[in-house]
Amino acid sequence: MTKNILAEFPDDTFLLESFLTEDKKHYAFNLIVRKYQERIYWHIRKMVVDHNDADDLTQEVFLKVWTKLADFRGQSSLFTWLYRVATNECLNFLRKKRRKFMLPLHDVAKELSEKIEHGAYVSGSTVEKELQKALLKLPDKQRVVFNMKYFEDMPYKEISEILQVSIGGLKASYHLAVKKVCNYIAIENI
Amino acid sequence: MEEKNKKMPFTVPEGYFEKLPQRINQQIVKKEKSPLQAFFSLRSVRLTVPLALVLILFLWLVVPWQSSHKETQEILLALEELPQEEVEAYLLAEGFTEQELLEVFETSGPAEEVLPKLPSLSAEELEEMVDMHDIEILF
């Protein structure tokens, strides 16, 4: 789905050059939003579960992109940079949520589990829902790694560039995450 | 954890991704309408303002202190070069009392830094000097 959408748009180098040209700035930015909005939204949605939160965060990510893209030096690809901004927004959001309500990891997971069960814009099989609930038992950073590897099929190299973590560390993190999820699924008899 | 379970149980409202770019654009327009925010979001301003503030603070704190400190040093040096008789004559002519002079010396730092070096005098010589200059002895 996503790869076809990406192919419809000009390549990132062209988009970046156009963005830096004053009279093409809005046009280029609009193309960047349309090219990456779905990937960014789903990346965020998997982390925050709730549609309205994911919607707010997606908008915030693109507002940040609008403000900071002129300073982007192209040390990584645009896609890597966008994912990094989105990941940081998610992790900050979840951290603030915990701090605001003085909640431990367990209670945030409980709140998000409720949303998986009864929230708006959630419809899937029991297995899909239970897998999402099992993922909520993982620490946030491990969950990001799992989502990128398992759901998005991203190569470790790409994840490593986004999260700026070593490939070895990522492999260990993913392996541990899979083990925890499998244990949870076995205990719950799903 | 098989391939078939790689789907997520999440959906979005109908037409969500068609409307999202427009909503983001509206947010940008709204943000850019606030001139103060737009002013401070300029890269040149973001770099210049803190530098200017640091410079102002530096000028305010260091430069006046340095110039006043320099002036004080120059005055003290000039005073040190003055003959003692001239200083005494000036102070008497200005009508300074001994109490006033003591107050000035007390607030001007250690006496050895401020007072001119007096020749070593015996008690009698000192009394003679006091009588000669008609200085009122307060204690």
pLDDT averaged per 10 residues, chain A (length 190): 69 92 93 96 96 96 94 86 96 88 71 90 88 93 96 95 95 96 82
Token duo for residue B85: 């008789």
Residue A71 has its nearest CB partner, among B27, B31, B43, at B43
Domain that holds residue A136: 124-190
CATH number, residue A14: 1.10.1740.10
Q: Is the domain of A133 the same as that of A189?
A: yes
Q: Is the domain of A2 the same as that of A95?
A: yes
User: For position B81, what pLDDT does the model report?
Assistant: 77
Residues of B in contact with A151 (CB under 8 A): 6, 8
In a domain, A176, yes or no: yes
Q: pLDDT-derived band of residue B32, with 50, 70 and 90 as boundaries? A: confident
**A-chain residue closest to B30, CA distance:** A63
Residue A63 has its nearest CB partner, among B5, B6, B27, at B27
Question: What is the Cα–Cα distance from A92 to B40, expressed in whole angstroms?
Answer: 24
User: For position A46, what pLDDT does the model report?
Assistant: 96
* Closest C-alpha to A147, from A137, A132, A164: A132
In a domain, A116, yes or no: no
Q: How many domains does chain A have?
A: 2
Mutate to test the interface with B, among A49, A56, A69, A127 (most CBs of B within 10 A): A127
Q: In a 10 Å sphere around its CB, with 0-12 CB exposed, 13-18 middle and 19+ buried, how is residue A127 labelled?
A: middle
* A172 close contact with B: CB closer than 8 A: no
Residues of B in contact with A59 (CB under 8 A): 20, 23-24, 27
User: For position A190, what pLDDT does the model report?
Assistant: 59
More confident position, A110 or B114: A110
**B-chain residue closest to A185, CA distance:** B1
Question: What is the Cα–Cα distance from B73 to B66, expressed in whole angstroms?
Answer: 10
pTM of the model: 0.65
Domain segments of chain B as ranges: 16-61, 83-133
In a domain, A69, yes or no: yes
Question: What is the Cα–Cα distance from A122 to A125, expressed in whole angstroms?
Answer: 10
Token duo for residue A175: 């392996």
Residues of B in contact with A55 (CB under 8 A): 16, 20
Mutate to test the interface with B, among A25, A35, A41 (most CBs of B within 10 A): A41
Q: Is the domain of A94 the same as that of A149?
A: no
Question: What is the Cα–Cα distance from A43 to A86, expressed in whole angstroms?
Answer: 8
The C-alpha of A102 sits at a distance from chain B's nearest C-alpha, in angstroms, of 27
In a domain, A82, yes or no: yes
* A189 close contact with B: CB closer than 8 A: no
* A132 close contact with B: CB closer than 8 A: yes
Q: pLDDT-derived band of residue B4, with 50, 70 and 90 as boundaries? A: very low
CATH number, residue A156: 1.10.10.10
Count CA atoms closer than 13 A to B65's CA, side-chain side: 6
Asked if residue A104 lies in contact with residue A98, where contact means CB atoms within 8 angstroms, the answer is yes
* Closest C-alpha to A69, from A10, A28, A11, A8: A28
Question: What is the Cα–Cα distance from A146 to A149, expressed in whole angstroms?
Answer: 5
Q: If you average pLDDT over each of A122-126, B50-54, B112-116, which comes out highest?
A: A122-126
- The Cα angle at residue A30 between residues A26 and A34, in degrees rounded to 5: 175
Cβ distance of B20 and A121 shorter than 8 Å: no
- Residues in CB range of A27: below 8 A, 6 or more apart: A18
Report the complex ipTM.
0.86
* A175 close contact with B: CB closer than 8 A: no
In a domain, A117, yes or no: no
In a domain, A58, yes or no: yes
- pLDDT tens sequence across B61-75: 776 666 666 777 777
User: For position B138, what pLDDT does the model report?
Assistant: 46
**B-chain residue closest to A51, CA distance:** B12
User: For position A97, what pLDDT does the model report?
Assistant: 85
Mutate to test the interface with A, among B10, B30, B42 (most CBs of A within 10 A): B10
